[in-house]
């Protein structure tokens, strides 16, 4: 039987797929939380046939729908005694402003709030499994345009890249808050930059962002290479002392100065908890 129970969001493509495959090869029991069940089942069969690991599972979860997140957590709580690794990998950038089912700006919802609710719902399992929570952030956090009075981009011109950078900043805040608040309960947390990865990310972006991605394409790394820091954080021993850190290339790295702002980090926690509240009952 597999020793490590691992949950991963956004596993059906890109670095999520490579991460799920690599951890299955290491005999983790992998639970893939996916929006598209058909793609999830196809990937499940592929991983089983490739690795001979039969402990691969698919659970429907739409991070833009907090009720769906709560339901997915309910399935896990009814199936598992504990969780050892939670990889919050799913994310996205949206060319035009969109709203989630719960009325939140989509970049904020998918990259941060859905994962926030997932962690809160799974806390008993995470504590029982002395879990590592791994949040896939990005160097794009340095582009953040932080405005807690307009977190849903209603009062200012929407920018896909600034919204994405802000959400990636939130991943780092969330990581540090988890380490501070739940470290005494056996939970550790890590954020990471996967690198500039050649995936379908940002294909609908227009303007200067489209040209940037086009120019950067020859220098991008493969999804397999982009998954390496996530895999490292999920499997390395004796790294709990580095809980709360931001990693690049398997090593702790410096963040922007804004990412170290404790007051703003706590503000985000309070805002997120207020939005999550109705789905934590």
Q: Please state, in angstroms and rounded to a whole number, the distance separating the CA atoms of residues 126 and 243.
A: 15
126: nearest Cα among 63, 193, 204, 189? 189
246 is annotated as an active-site residue: no
Indicate the pairing of strand 132-136 with strand 85-88: parallel
Q: What is the distance between the alpha carbons of residues 32 and 16, in angstroms, rounded to a whole number?
A: 9
Residue 83 DSSP label: -
Q: Helices then strands (H, E): number in the chain?
A: 10, 8
Contact 136, 87 (CB under 8 A): yes
Inter-CA distances, 208 with 21, 112, 160, Å = 34, 25, 11
Active-site option among 164, 173, 182, 246: 164
Q: 33-68 as b/e, with b when 16 or more CB fall inside 10 Å?
A: bbbeeebbeebbeebeeebebebbbbbebbbbbbeb
d(CA 130, CA 188): 8
Catalytic residues: 164
């Amino acid at each position: 039987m597999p020793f490590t129970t691992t949950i991963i969001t956004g596993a059906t493509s890109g670095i999520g797929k490579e991460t799920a495959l690599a951890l299955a090869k290491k005999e983790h029991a992998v639970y893939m939380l996916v929006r598209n069940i058909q793609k999830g089942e196809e990937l499940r069969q592929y991983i089983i046939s490739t690795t001979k690991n039969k402990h691969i599972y698919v659970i429907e979860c739409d991070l833009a729908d907090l009720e769906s997140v709560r339901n997915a957590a309910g399935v896990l709580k009814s199936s598992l005694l504990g969780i050892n690794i939670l990889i919050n990998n799913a994310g996205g950038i949206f060319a035009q402003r969109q709203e989630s089912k719960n009325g939140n700006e989509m970049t904020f919802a998918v990259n941060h709030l859905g994962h926030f609710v997932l962690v809160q719902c799974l806390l008993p399992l995470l504590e029982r499994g002395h879990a590592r929570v791994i949040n896939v952030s990005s160097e794009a956090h340095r582009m953040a345009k932080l405005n807690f009075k307009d977190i849903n981009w209603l009062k200012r011109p929407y920018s896909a890249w600034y919204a994405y950078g802000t959400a990636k900043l939130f991943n780092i805040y969330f990581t540090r808050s988890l380490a501070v608040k739940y470290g005494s309960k056996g939970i550790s947390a890590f954020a990471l930059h996967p690198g500039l990865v050649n995936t379908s990310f940002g294909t609908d972006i227009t303007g200067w962002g489209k040209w940037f991605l086009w120019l950067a394409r020859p220098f991008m790394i493969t999804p397999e290479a982009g998954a390496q820091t996530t895999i490292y954080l999920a499997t390395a021993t004796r790294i709990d002392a580095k809980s709360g850190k931001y990693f690049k290339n398997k090593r702790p790295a410096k963040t922007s100065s804004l990412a170290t702002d404790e007051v703003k980090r706590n503000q985000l926690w309070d805002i997120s908890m207020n939005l999550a509240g109705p789905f934590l009952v």
